[in-house]
Amino acid sequence: MKRPDTAQVLTTLVILAYPLLIWYAHGRIEPRQLALALLGVAALRLLTFKIGQRYRWMSLAALVLAAPALFWNALLPLKLYPVAISIGMLALFGASLLRPPSIIERIARIQDPDLPPFAVAYTRRVTQVWCLFFAFNGSVAFATAVWASEAVWSLYTGLISYVLMGALFAGEYLVRLYVRRQHHA
């Protein structure tokens, strides 16, 4: 088994802990310094990750949001990064509904290239559910970034949104098992 790249692991950990880092740094570190750190992580990610064209926008979003934070020494653009990620994921998943196969169908076909028609319909519905999740998540992340304290924003974007995502993954898995049983009974 191939050992993970250290830069990739560190970059992923920083991205996952990003909301907590913003909360911790508030009042201790200037937003401009945080923006420089975000620029560094985004640049490292662009240079070291073997990411496809579809996912480069995540790093580009970080670069775009870091620019006003650097210029105005403002925290708000940095707090909008999770919003940008949700918008990007909504666009990615939504576009796959307009130009099939859907993202979830593509993932499912890795395990089973010959998906039956009921599974194709199911994967389309799951992609729609993820679109709703990303719309909701982006909206709450935006509202907390603009109108809530850094602690509330960090709690939502750094914990609650991950718990909701995990619950959606787990719930979908249970529904998938049920749907399979119904069609193979």
> d(Cα 179, Cα 124) in Å, to the nearest integer?
14
Residue length, the chain?
185
Residue 6 has pLDDT above 80, yes or no: no
Structure-model confidence comparison of residues 61 and 87, the more confident one: 87
pLDDT band at 1 (very low <50, low <70, confident <90, very high): low
Helical packing angle, 6-25 and 81-98, nearest 10°: 130
Query: How far, in Å, CA of 120 to CA of 115, rounded?
Result: 6
pLDDT tens column, 107-139? 999 998 999 999 999 999 999 999 999 999 999
Q: How far apart are CA 179 and CA 116, in angstroms?
A: 12
What tens digit of pLDDT does each residue of 129-172 get? Answer: 999 999 999 999 999 999 999 889 999 998 999 999 999 999 99
pLDDT at position 51 is 60
CB 169 within 8 A of CB 115: no
**Residue 128 to residue 185: CA distance in whole angstroms:** 26
More confident residue, 11 or 181: 181
Pairwise CA distance, residues 13 & 8, whole Å: 9
Which of 135, 153, 38 shows the shortest CA–CA distance to 89? Answer: 135
